[in-house]
DNA sequence: TCAAAGCAAGTGTGATCACATATCAAAATC
DNA sequence: GATTTTGATATGTGATCACACTTGCTTTGA
């Protein structure tokens, strides 16, 4: 076929056809497992099997085993000496360890973002906040998954502005690791009567709009510390009862 | 066989037989590739193929592809849109990004370690320093690999004392990412006449022995910043020449 | 009655095959 | 002679098979 003809063809369809994407099955499995982990769909200490997940995801074992291997290297899952793999169990030490790391790294990221996030970025996170308010307005239906997703978008929209290709994957890894814990904390919130989560987020946005890095960091620390503190108390009281 | 007979057998051999270990082929491949990456055996931008590595490591493709996948998720390698994988190229932004992250996280780790590392830990790192001096004494043979290994042991022996199961894997990931860059810097050192690396390490040990977290952090920052600064200058002057 | 042996189902690991795509050089076409 | 086409080779991906190990239950034997 002549070159001109090929380009003609491209021109005709370019506007109408969406790119079909080149995502592999493995990528989809990996993304799906990540989503499930961050969303807290798996419980701490839950054992996962390759064939079980392959059946659930309607694929063969191959993409699943590679995805599991990747999640194990980022400590989102844990390889037992039996060669079986499970969601890491919650311990007090792990909670404190995760919180400290998150404060350190996400605090740094938001400090950087405070000076680099333009009005356009601010507008986006403000829109996310409004969307969240709408979800919370119709309270009758506890759409926790939706809230988790919005919270994630809110935070990562900010972190993205820090412009670090090194820090952001680390934060993702930390969210992956704290996902199963956070889920427990969220359920605890639901039982205990929810505190105003939105308040912290509004403080964060205000600090970012003022380009006040220190205030943004402090508001963020308060925001991410709260569920961890909640979870910590819960675990301790449970430990006392036994 | 009766239980008593089994235990008799165990008693007889327990002292003589070493545990045989349960490492999989995939684990060995992964470790070997990590070693090569941290040691800078691969060059930035070098493309790696599954079958090529499998031949070089004398295994099949299966363990290699899973190891590559794991290294890609921790950003030690990079997946190109062609689906081929390469060692990430060096850019000025990436160097600054990596250095900032390393200062942040390794600085925190050594601060924690300063108060938690007992005299026993101090003795170990001092022994590593003496071993290093010996290697440097016979200077005629530039045993760079040995020095890289000793440097790694020195740093991670300290980080191990911080007691964080979250921070340490992150530091390993950062070393994996900066390995290929550092190798370039080390060669630059060799050409430019080496500055006294040992000085910084002695400062670190002194600060740790005095449990002075702030001084330890500052000495560490100086230590890890130096090769990055060197590499940075080298890249900039090369960029000017083109 | 109870512990030990044996068996069967389940699971992870590694090897191999089939297939789609990428790459690159030779050949063909203008 | 430059550009396109074509074909051979190389490479990543997914499926399937074979094997070893684990696990839990049943059967056996004292």
Q: Do A122 and A191 contact (CB within 8 A), yes or no?
A: no
Give B198's pLDDT tier (boundaries 50, 70, 90). Answer: confident
Residues contacting B161, CB < 8 A, separation 6+:
B112, B113, B116, B117, B121
CATH architecture observed for domain A92-241: Up-down Bundle (1.20)
Q: Which of B52, B17, B18 is CA-nearest to residue B33?
A: B52
For residue B66, give the nearest of A22, A69, A164 by CB distance: A69
pLDDT score of B153 more than 80 = yes
A166 CA: distance to closest CA in chain B (Å): 6
pLDDT attached to residue B100: 96
Q: Which nucleotide is nearest to B5 (CA to C1')?
A: C4
Query: Is any atom of strand D within 7 angstroms of residue A22's beta carbon?
Result: no
Q: What share of chain A is helix, strand, coil (3-state, %, to 5)?
A: 75, 0, 25
Torsion of CA A120, A124, A125, A126, to 10 degrees: 90
Q: Residue A128 contacts by C-beta under 8 Å, 6 or more apart in sequence?
A: A150, A153, A154, A157
Q: What is the pLDDT of residue B194?
A: 57
**Do the Cβ atoms of B65 and A66 come within 8 Å?**
yes
Output the pLDDT for position A4: 42
Q: Which helix (H) or strand (E) holds B195?
A: none
What average pLDDT does the segment B53-58 reach? 92
Q: Which residues contact A22 (CB under 8 A, 6 or more apart)?
A: B81
Distance, in Å, from the CA atom of B194 to the CA atom of A7, rounded to the nearest integer, reads 57
pLDDT value for B147: 79
pLDDT computed for residue B232 by the predictor: 87
Output the pLDDT for position A74: 93
**pLDDT of residue B1 exceeding 50:** no
User: Integer distance in angstroms from CA A59 to C1' D16?
Assistant: 13
Interval B177-184 mean pLDDT:
82
Reference B185, options B241, B233, B142; nearest CA is B233
Task: Report the SS3 class of residue A182.
Answer: helix
Strand (E) or helix (H) holding A86 = strand A85-86
| CA gap B163, B219 in Å, rounded | 20
Question: Is the distance between the Cβ of B49 and the closest atom of strand D smaller than 7 Å?
Answer: yes
- Could you tell me the residue ranges of all domains in chain B? 3-86, 92-241
| pLDDT tops 70 at residue B192 | no
Provide the ipTM.
0.85
CB atoms within 10 A of CB A49: 15
Q: How far is A69 from chain B (nearest CA, A)?
A: 6
| Strands B47-48, B85-86: pairing kind | antiparallel
Predicted pLDDT of residue B134: 80
The per-residue pLDDT for B63 is 94
Confirm or reject contact between B131 and chain A (CB < 8 A).
no
CA A54 to chain centre: 23
User: Which residue does chain B place closest to A81, by CA atoms?
Assistant: B22
Report the 10 Å Cβ neighbour count for B56.
Answer: 12
pLDDT of A242 reads 64
Question: Measuring CA to CA, which residue among A217, A229, A109, A83 is closest to residue A172?
Answer: A109
- Alpha-helix runs per DSSP H in chain B: 3-14, 25-38, 50-57, 61-73, 92-116, 119-137, 144-160, 167-192, 197-209, 213-241
Residue B224 near residue B106 (C-beta atoms within 8 A): yes
Asked whether residue B24 carries a pLDDT value surpassing 80, the answer given is: yes
- Gap between the Cα atoms of B54 and B68, Å rounded: 11
Say whether pLDDT at B236 is over 90: no
The segments of chain A whose pLDDT lies below 70 read 1-21, 139-142, 187-196, 242
What does CATH list as the number for B3-86? 1.10.10.10
Look over chain B and give the mean of its residue pLDDT values, rounded to a whole number: 85
Predicted pLDDT at B171: 96
Give dist(CA B88, CA B104) in Å, integer: 22
Q: If contacts are CB pairs under 8 Å, which of residues 38-67 in chain A contact chain B?
A: 65-66
- Predicted confidence at residue A217, as pLDDT, reads 95
Nearest by Cα to B178 from B38, B43, B33:
B38
Mean pLDDT: which of A8-22, B54-68, B142-156 is highest?
Answer: B54-68
């Amino acid at each position: 076929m002549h070159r001109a003809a090929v380009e003609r063809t491209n021109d005709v369809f370019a506007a109408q056809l969406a790119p079909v994407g080149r995502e592999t099955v493995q990528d989809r499995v990996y993304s799906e497992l990540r989503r499930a982990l961050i969303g807290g769909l798996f419980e701490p200490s839950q054992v996962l099997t390759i064939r079980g997940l392959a059946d659930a995801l309607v694929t063969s074992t191959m993409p699943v085993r590679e995805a599991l291997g990747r999640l194990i290297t980022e400590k989102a899952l844990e390889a037992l000496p039996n060669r079986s793999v499970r969601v890491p169990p919650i311990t007090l030490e792990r909670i404190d360890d995760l919180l400290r790391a998150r404060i350190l790294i996400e605090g740094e990221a938001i400090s950087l973002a405070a000076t680099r996030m333009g009005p356009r970025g601010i507008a986006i996170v403000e829109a996310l906040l409004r969307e969240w308010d709408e979800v919370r307005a119709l309270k009758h239906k506890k759409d926790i998954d939706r809230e988790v997703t919005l919270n994630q978008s809110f935070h990562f929209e900010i972190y993205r502005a820090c412009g670090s290709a090194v820090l952001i994957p680390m934060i993702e890894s930390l969210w992956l690791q704290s996902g199963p814990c956070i889920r427990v904390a969220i359920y605890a919130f639901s039982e205990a009567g929810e505190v105003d989560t939105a308040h912290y987020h509004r403080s964060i946005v205000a600090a970012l709009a003022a380009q006040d890095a220190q205030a943004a960091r402090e508001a963020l620390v308060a925001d991410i510390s709260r569920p961890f503190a909640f979870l910590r108390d819960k675990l301790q009281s449970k430990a006392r009862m036994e």
